[in-house]
Structure 1
Amino acid sequence: MNIESNPASWKNIWRDNRMYFIAFIIFWLIAFGIYLGITQGDDILFFNRRRTALGDTFFRYGTHMGEEIAYIFVGVILIFYSYRNLIMIPIIGVVVTAVSALLKEIFRHPRPFRWFQENGMDGLLQTIEGVTINMGSNSFPSGHTMSAFTLYTFLALCLPRKKINSVILIALPIMVGVSRIYLIKHFLEDVLVGALVGVILGVLLYKLQYVLFKYPHPWMDGHLKLIRRTKVKEIIEEVQPDPDREKSH
């Protein structure tokens, strides 16, 4: 298989998804610049002091777009595009969980609320109703952010209509990352690393599917097909009696 016909070649991945990657690079560099210009905890306080009822509700539910429900949603989409892509969804979940757990265990950074408490500043924080406060030492990196960027990067590489899908699929994981800071779950540094690792994993797992299953594959590259309206009409016409034919009898 030559490079031009291989959808998982580095050249084709960049060419077909350039808009997505450029948008990610811009987001990441802006966020990294902000990180360099603030001190620890400023990111949490920035959002905490600007909380609104609408923001609380939006981010409390939006953060779930990096959880299991999002994997189910993406799986439903991919079943209509490629069984190859669909089979990778549980693999993505396992890999993200393992990598996130390993990095958290290595670095053992305190969660924001614990950090504020240890520095005698927890009185500055306003908790959000319905949101559990994490007090552990597993803040770095953000697992939700890593999960979202892995999942939606993989989906962006799989889907057609690259321009509109790139906008939607970069906005979703960014929203998840912001939600983790807003909900006092993670610092900006946790989100930055989670996002970077997530995009890398998304690309590598996209390439992995073409290693696990040869391309093209007789059934892996198939997908679930819905019956078209024209097909339904043809079926109905076949089972309905023909009035003119009955008159002739």
Structure 2
Amino acid sequence: MPFVRRHYTPPSLRLKTFLRANRFFLIGVLLLLLGFLYLLFTNQQGDELIAINGLRTDRLDWVFITGTQLGEPIAYVVVLLIALTFRLRTALFTVLTGATVAVVAGLLKLYFAEARPMRYFFDNFEATWHSLNLFDENMRNWGYSSFPSGHTASAFALYSFVCFNVRRPKIVISILCFLLALMVGFSRMYLLYHFLRDVTAGAFLGLLVAIAMFFLQWKLYPNNARLNDGIWWTRTPK
């Protein structure tokens, strides 16, 4: 027999209400993006990677190699399984969020075809390339798919979407989601996969996709009891 809980009331779709409810997370992301933009305009491309590369330790390698997976499909699977127990609507749009950000980021990568940091440094600043504390060959990416960072876009889309959908404890969830997304973005630079510009663009793209998906999910039969239920939960009527 399924568990029973109170009727679920769809959130208000007024922009003012949305901004107020998610102000902690949105302010954090906004300040982060502004900080990134400041660094982009005051430093040459690659300076941030050289600085971060100087921090390399075996322990940090493990932290960021593990942390970068928070922006991969496995993270979406975990959120999907949790969402299925609470609300089918959120589970469905978790998948759509991941698919949308993957397609958009992929198309942008094809269009811009920017060199990855390994290729960029080797082709343009070979002395700098030799001075870097490089990862093993199997972890190096020499391609032309740097802009934007797909992992960062994926992470900011996923954790923004989670934050927008969780009503409480809002401050705790906002901080946690922000830190998880930030971990992925920083890991992409630490691992020499992306420049700061790629991470900045990825974070902004992910945030936009998450906002769009949050509002879109409630345009689809907002009062449908089945979509608003989870696998093991049913709700009593009003």
Is TM (by shorter chain) over 0.5? yes
Shift of 1:5: 6.5
Task: Report the counterpart of residue 16 of structure 1 in structure 2.
Answer: 21
Q: Which deviations, in whole Å up to 9, do the C-alpha atoms of 1:79-127 show, x marking residues without a partner?
A: 2321100011221221111101111111111000000000123212222
* Mapped partners of 1:219, 1:172: distance in 2: 31
Task: Report the counterpart of residue 175 of structure 1 in structure 2.
Answer: 183
2:97–2:213 Cα contact (<8 Å) kept: yes
Shift of 1:20: 0.8
Task: Report the counterpart of residue 110 of structure 1 in structure 2.
Answer: 115
SS of residue matched to 1:80: helix
SS of residue matched to 1:219: helix
Task: Report the counterpart of residue 172 of structure 2 in structure 1.
Answer: 164
2:146 corresponds to 1:145: no
Shift of 1:135: 0.9
* Mapped partners of 2:94, 2:137: distance in 1: 29
Shift of 1:49: 1.3
* Mapped partners of 1:169, 1:131: distance in 2: 30
Range that drifts further, 217-226 or 137-146: 217-226
Tell me the C-alpha RMSD between the 2 structures: 1.7
Q: Which deviations, in whole Å up to 9, do the C-alpha atoms of 1:205-224 show, x marking residues without a partner?
A: 1111122x211112101123
Give the letter for the 1:63 counterpart: T
* Mapped partners of 2:184, 2:171: distance in 1: 21
Give the letter for the 2:151 counterpart: H
* Mapped partners of 1:207, 1:37: distance in 2: 36
2:130 corresponds to 1:123: yes
Q: Which runs of 5+ in 1 are unaligned?
A: 227-249
Aligned pairs for 1:143-222 within 5 A: 143-161=150-168, 162-211=170-219, 213-222=220-229
* Mapped partners of 2:206, 2:212: distance in 1: 10
Give the letter for the 2:212 counterpart: L
SS of residue matched to 1:79: helix
Shift of 1:12: 2.3
* Mapped partners of 1:85, 1:205: distance in 2: 10
2:10–2:222 Cα contact (<8 Å) kept: no
Greater Cα radius of gyration, structure 1 or 2? 1
Identity %: 33
Range that drifts further, 129-138 or 92-101: 129-138
* Mapped partners of 1:198, 1:63: distance in 2: 15
Task: Report the counterpart of residue 49 of structure 2 in structure 1.
Answer: 44
Aligned pairs for 1:26-105 within 5 A: 26-105=31-110
SS of residue matched to 2:91: helix
Range that drifts further, 106-115 or 86-95: 86-95
2:116–2:144 Cα contact (<8 Å) kept: yes
TM (norm. structure 1) is 0.85
Task: Report the counterpart of residue 140 of structure 2 in structure 1.
Answer: 133
Give the letter for the 2:74 counterpart: I
Give the letter for the 2:101 counterpart: V
Shift of 1:34: 1.8
Q: Which deviations, in whole Å up to 9, do the C-alpha atoms of 1:29-76 show, x marking residues without a partner?
A: 112212222111111111111111111000001000000110011112
Higher RCO, 1 vs 2 (CA within 8 Å, ≥6 residues apart): 2
Range that drifts further, 31-40 or 177-186: 31-40
TM (norm. structure 2) is 0.88
Give the letter for the 1:185 counterpart: Y
Pick closer, same or farther for the CA change 1:35–1:131 going to 2, 3 Å.
farther
